[in-house]
Amino acid sequence: MKTQNKIRAAGLLLLALVFQFSFASTGGSIMGQVTDPETKEPVSDATVVLESQGGQKIFYTNEHGYYYASNIPAGVYNITVTYMSSHLMVENYKLSNDENKTLDFQLGVSINMKDVIITFETNPIIDPIDPQIDILKREDIRRMPIIGTGGLAELKSGVVKSNGEYYVRGARAGGLAYYIDGCRVMGNPDIPLCGLDTYRMYNGFIPPKYGDATGGVVVMETRNFFGEQ
């Protein structure tokens, strides 16, 4: 009887893990530091809240004032930082899938000092996770001498097109996976470039969340996904 209960518990745990990984979505990350602009000291135990469409994600700074918000779904967020009676907000902050941003805050925590709304955002030229990844923004995409997303894949080294299929570093047909607005799509979608906001392609290091991709991964966000025209 005890053996059957153990087997049943192990089966339920395995099923829960399968569902967890099956429905895991892609996301980006935001990291940064909260400091006092007067003393230049880090603010520990500050609360960082990311709010979008009625949902919230809450994070806290460590003893050095750093916070790290990971696996954040793509979207537009209002970010609020609070500590005791001091607070500040950054509105309409856009984050794409697989995007790693740095957002620092200067929050006045002195009793007689008003809130100082100063933010610093940095977008590194080289991605810290995969230096070989191609990241194209709308400004870059609109200048491309092509009309569809299929042409963007051909610009990447190690990609060969044959009979309508893309082969990445010798992988079999179908080895290139596509994600549009965080959702996996089948086939080789070739949407107009005017509808893209960001385009990124992995053909070297592939993040673990794309475990079923054997050749490469293309991650795209559309313009309307962020509510822009």
Phi then psi for residue 21, to 5 deg, are -75, -25
Whether the per-residue pLDDT at 205 is higher than 70: the answer is yes
Res 101: pLDDT: 92
- Which letter does DSSP use for residue 73 in this model? P
Token pair of 52 as six digits: 């979008």
Topology (CATH) of 28-122: Immunoglobulin-like (2.60.40)
DSSP one-letter string for 153-213 = HHTSTTEEEETTEEEETTPPTT-EEEEETTEEE-S----BGGGEEEEEEESSS--GGGTT-
pTM of the model as a whole: 0.52
Q: Where in the chain is the domain with CATH 2.170.130.10?
A: 134-226
**Above pLDDT 90, what percent of the chain?**
23
Rounded Cα distance between 209 and 139, Å, is: 28
CA 44 to centroid of chain Cα atoms: 25
Res 114: pLDDT: 58
Res 97: pLDDT: 83
Mean pLDDT (the chain, rounded) = 77
Rounded Cα distance between 6 and 43, Å, is: 47
Res 64: pLDDT: 94
As a whole number of Å, the end-to-end CA separation of the chain is 63
Q: Where in the chain is the domain with CATH 2.60.40.1120?
A: 28-122
**Above pLDDT 70, what percent of the chain?**
74
- Residues 95-134 have pLDDT tens digits of 988 888 999 999 987 665 556 666 666 655 556 655 556 6
- Residues 50-90 have pLDDT tens digits of 999 888 999 999 999 999 998 898 889 999 999 988 888 99
Closest CA to 52 of 98, 101, 93, 104: 93
Rounded Cα distance between 144 and 147, Å, is: 8
Res 130: pLDDT: 57
Give Cα separations from 64 to 36, 71, 100, 129 (angstroms): 12, 22, 20, 23
Q: Span 134-226: which CATH code?
A: 2.170.130.10
- Residues 3-49 have pLDDT tens digits of 555 555 555 444 444 444 333 456 789 999 999 998 889 999 999 99
Question: Between residues 225 and 199, which one has the greater pLDDT?
Answer: 199
Question: Between residues 66 and 186, which one has the greater pLDDT?
Answer: 66
Give Cα separations from 186 to 46, 70, 90 (angstroms): 43, 27, 37
